[in-house]
Amino acid sequence: MDTFIFIFLAVLTIGSGLGMVLNRNTVNSALFLVLNMVSIAGIYLLLQAQFLALIQILVYAGAIMVLFLFVIMLLNLDDERSLFSKVRAKYISAFFLGVVTLSLILYSLEGVADLLPEISPEMETAGTVEALGDVLYTDYLFAFEMTAILLTAAVVGALMIAQYKKSNNGASE
């Protein structure tokens, strides 16, 4: 049963991903992304990562995508079509290279499907909030703290890039 759900979700994920990239209408594109996020959340659930699945929906599919859509609609980016330049050879070669990469990866994955670990009883609880919080503040404390710095830096950086022109330049000297 799990396998079938997985195949369904995987196809959905890849399909929506392709749909997002290939669609020329930005709003449609964004909606495909939402679908993509949701199906990934489904895969998380399948892997017993309940908390992660929930957060995936809340944060990505919810908050971030809504922001995305707002921005897209506000900026009215429909004439982005011109972005697609005339260089066709590039896309063709990109396609072939993509196929080669994919086949390499698939080839490498082929013989190892049965190597994936069986889901054990401990792993069943691994995705809960308690379990997650427990390891996050003990074993993975370093990564957690580093992430805090990463996020701070990202926020400050985004502001720096976005701000129009520093007003207090003169004053700071």
Instruction: Report the interface residues with other proteins, using CB under 8 A.
Output: 90, 93-94, 97-98, 100-101, 104-105, 107-112, 115-117, 138-143, 146-147, 149-150, 152-154, 156-161, 166, 168-169, 171-173
Residue carrying structure tokens 């196809």? 11
Query: Of the two residues 67 and 105, which places its CB atom closer to other proteins in the complex?
Result: 105
Q: How far apart are the first and last CA of the chain?
A: 67
Q: Within a 10 A sphere around the Cβ of 92, how many other Cβ atoms?
A: 10
As measured in angstroms, the least distance from the Cβ of 111 to other proteins is 6
Query: Of the two residues 1 and 113, which places its CB atom closer to other proteins in the complex?
Result: 113
As measured in angstroms, the least distance from the Cβ of 47 to other proteins is 12
Q: Within a 10 A sphere around the Cβ of 146, how many other Cβ atoms?
A: 11
Query: Of the two residues 74 and 171, which places its CB atom closer to other proteins in the complex?
Result: 171
Cα distances from 85 to residues 8, 14, 30, 76, 79, in angstroms, run 35, 25, 22, 20, 13
User: Hey, what amino acid is at 65?
Assistant: M
As measured in angstroms, the least distance from the Cβ of 30 to other proteins is 18
As measured in angstroms, the least distance from the Cβ of 112 to other proteins is 5
Residue carrying structure tokens 């990109």? 94
